[in-house]
Structure 1
Amino acid sequence: MVDFITEISRQPEPLAALQGLMATNGLELAFQPKFRCLDGAIAGIEVLARWPGARYTWQQPEYFVRLAEQQSLSPTLDLQVLTKTQETLHALPARLRNALGPVSVNVSAHSIMDEEFMTDIKRLFSPTKNSNIHFELTETASLFCLKRACEIFTTLSRLGISLSIDDFLQGYNTLEVLDALPAKEIKIDRKDIARMHERAGFRRVAAMITIAKQKRLRITAEGIENEGQWSLLKSMGCDFCQGFWLSPPLTVDELSALSESMTLHRPQ
C-alpha cells in the first residue's frame, strides 16, 4: 500500500481531486454500528468518511485517507469529518442519539500533534456538550512525542473525548503507545479477526483480549464476517463487535431505522 500511495501522491489528479473535494466540504459520512457481545444491542457507532460516487481505487477511504496523511491534509480532513459528524448527530432526536451510544471517529496522529487542529477541537467540543466521542487513533502515523500526546489526550478527556487505540498491534499502535496514553478502548483489526481460525491467529487475538482485561479497557473486534467469529469472540470475553455480517456502514436514515427497529423488538 505504501508504494501505491507514494506513487499516486505524485500524480496531479488524485491530489487535486482530494483538495477540491475538501475545499467544498464534499466528503460524505457513513455510520457503522457497534454491537454489544453480551446481548447484541447497539452500543455505539463508528463514523466513516466516504468519497461520493467513488469510481476509482484511490477514492476508497484506505487510499485517500493515507494520501491526506502524506500530504499534511489530515488535520483539515479530520476536522471536517468531526464537524459534519456533530452537525449530523445533533440534527437527530435526543432519544435516538442516546440510543446509539458513543460515537467513534478516526483521527490521525498528525492531527493530534497539530496545534491548530487542537485549537479547533476545543472550539468544536466543550464539557457542557456531553460529547461522548471516541477518537480512534489510527495506526499509520507516529506520535513523535508520547509524553506530549498523553497531555493532549488528558486535555481532550475534559471535553468528553476518550481515546481508542485503533488496529491494536498494527503499524505504529504498539504496546508502548498503549502504555503511554490514557486509552479507554483497544480495537482488534479485521486482519487479525480473519486469521482467528489459525492457531497463531487465535492466540494473538486472545492475548489482546487478555491485555485489555488486565488494563481494564473495553475491547472491540472489527471485521466480523460470520456467526462463527461472533460466537467465538463472545466466548473469549470480547466486549463489542462490528463488521458487515452484523451491519454494513449505513446512511443516517438507515441507522435511524435500524435503531428504531431494534428498540421495538427488544424484549421487555
Structure 2
Amino acid sequence: MPASAVSKVSKDSSAAQVRDVIRSVGFDLVFQPKVAFSHGRLGGIEVLARWPQVVSGRQAPDQFVPLAEKSGLAPMLDLHVLERTLRIWRSWPAVTRLCWSPFPISVNVSAMSVQDEDFLRSVTWLLAESPRPKLMFELTETAPFHNPVAAAQTLEALSGHGIQVSLDDFCTGFNNHDRLNTLPVAELKIDRADTAKLDTVAGIRHVGQMIDQAKAAGLTVTAEGIECRDQWKTLRTLGCDYGQGYWLCPPLSASDAVEFVQSYTPSRLLSATNEENNALGAVDLAPGLVHNLPK
C-alpha cells in the first residue's frame, strides 16, 4: 500500500475515533480562570476540551482539533463541548453560578463551525434552555474562512443572543487583522508564544502594539500562558486586561472549579506593583486540591 494511502487510512481512523468519543463517553472538560490585572479579581473562565482518560490512543488538543476541522467534524465537536459546558454549569451549586454570573464562560469555536449553516440553529436550540451563563466564543486560529460573509452573519446573529466573540491567539494562524476588521470582536487573546517572549525588547514591543491596537478598537485583551511574575508585571504595565496561565491557576476539573470560585478572594492574588511586600504568587488553592489537578 502506498505511503499516502497508509497516511489517509490513519487519518480516517483517527477522525472516526474523534467521532466515536463524541458519541460515547464524550470529551473531558477542564476550566481555567481569567484574572484581572487591575485588581486581581476573577474575570471569566475558559473551557478546554481534553481527550478522555478512559479512551486509549490519547491525543492532545493540538492534534484532535485540527483533525476535526480537516475531517468536517468541527461543528460536531464544538456543539458537543458547548452542550457539555452548559450541562456542567447547570449542575453547579447556585452560589457557584452566582459567583460566575458577572463573567463570561469562554468556549473555543472553529472558523469551520461558524461557516456551517446548521451551527447557528443548533446553538440557538442549546441556548433555549435556561438558566445559562454569559458566553464568549473564542474563534480558534487553525482554520480559514471560505465564506467570510456567512461567518460574519453567524457571529452577528449570535451576538443577538448575548454571545461575545474573542479572537484566540491573535496574529497567529488565520486570526489576523482582517478578522479583527470584519467580525464583531469583543476581545483579543495574546498567544502563549508571544507571552513567552516578553523577556526580549522585540517581544515587549510586539505585545505592546497588539494591546494598543485592541484598546484603540475598544476591545479587551487577555494574555495566555503566564508562567512567571515578570510576565505578569510586564503585561500589567502594558495595559493588558486579563491573564491566564499555570502561574495564576492551572486548568481545573469541574468539581475543583466549584471549590476554587467559592473560596477565591482577590487577596489571594497580591498586587505585583510592590516588589518587596506584595509579590504575586501562585493562587492559594484549598489544601490537597493542587494534587488532584488535571494534567
Tell me the TM-score normalised to structure 1 length: 0.90
Equivalent in the alignment of 1:230: 232
Pair 1:49 & 2:49 matched: yes
Question: Which deviates more from structure 2 when the two are superposed, residues 53-62 or residues 73-82?
Answer: 53-62
Query: Partner of 1:154 in structure 2?
Result: 156
SS in 2 for 1:115: coil
**Cα 1:258/1:130, change in 2 over 3 Å:** closer
Structure 2 partner of 1:76: 76
Q: Comparing 56-65 with 30-39, which one deviates more in the overlay?
A: 56-65
Unmatched runs of 5 consecutive residues or more in structure 2 = 1-5, 270-295
2:137 equivalent to 1:104: no
CA distance in 2, matches of 1:12, 1:127: 35
Offset of 1:54 from its aligned partner? 7.5
**Is the Cα–Cα contact under 8 Å of residues 25 and 80 in structure 1 kept in the other structure?**
no
The answer for the alignment partner of 1:59 in structure 2 is 59
What amino acid maps onto 1:202 in structure 2?
Answer: I
- Following TM superposition, the consecutive aligned residue runs of length 4 or more in structure 1 with deviations greater than 3 angstroms are 6-13, 54-58, 126-131, 263-267
Match status 1:178 vs 2:180 = yes
Could you say what secondary structure the match of 1:120 adopts? helix
Once residues 30 and 36 of structure 1 are traced to their aligned partners in structure 2, the CA distance between those partners, rounded to angstroms, is 20
Larger radius of gyration: 2
Letter in 2 for 1:134: M
Q: Which residue does the alignment assign to 1:92?
A: 92
SS at match of 2:143: coil
Counterpart position of 2:290:
none
Does the 8 A contact of 2:110 with 2:139 survive in 1? yes
Q: Distance in 1 between matches of 2:63 and 2:247?
A: 24
Alignment correspondent of 1:3: none
Deviation at 1:43, TM superposition (A): 1.1
Residue among 110, 116, 122 paired with 2:124: 122
> SS of the counterpart of 1:141?
coil
TM-score of the superposed pair, with normalisation by structure 2: 0.82
CA distance in 2, matches of 1:56, 1:251: 20
**Which shifted more, 44-53 or 91-100?**
91-100
Unmatched segments (≥5 aa) in structure 1: 1-5
Pair 9,140 (structure 1): closer, same or farther in 2 beyond 3 Å:
farther
Q: Say which SS state the counterpart of residue 187 (structure 1) adopts.
A: strand
Cα distance, 1:64 vs structure 2: 0.7
Distance 1:90 1:128 in 2: 9
Q: 1 CA distance for matches of 2:62 and 2:173?
A: 14
Alignment correspondent of 1:214: 216
Letter in 2 for 1:24: S
Q: 1:194 is aligned with what amino acid?
A: A
Q: Does 1:164 pair with 2:166? A: yes
Distance 2:54 2:139 in 1: 25
Residue in 2 that maps onto 1:30 = 30
What is the Cα deviation at residue 36 of structure 1?
0.7
Q: 1:7 to 1:186 in 2, by over 3 A?
A: farther
For 1:264 and 1:176, locate their aligned partners in 2 and report how far apart those are by CA, in whole Å: 37
Q: Structure 1 residues 264 and 40, CA, compared in 2 at 3 Å: closer, same or farther?
A: closer
Q: CA deviation at 1:23?
A: 1.6
* Cα distance between partner residues in 1 of 2:266 and 2:209: 37
**Aligned 8 A contact 1:57 1:63 in 2:** no
What's the RMSD between the two structures over aligned residues? 2.3
Tell whether the 8 Å contact from 2:188 to 2:219 is kept in structure 1 after alignment. yes
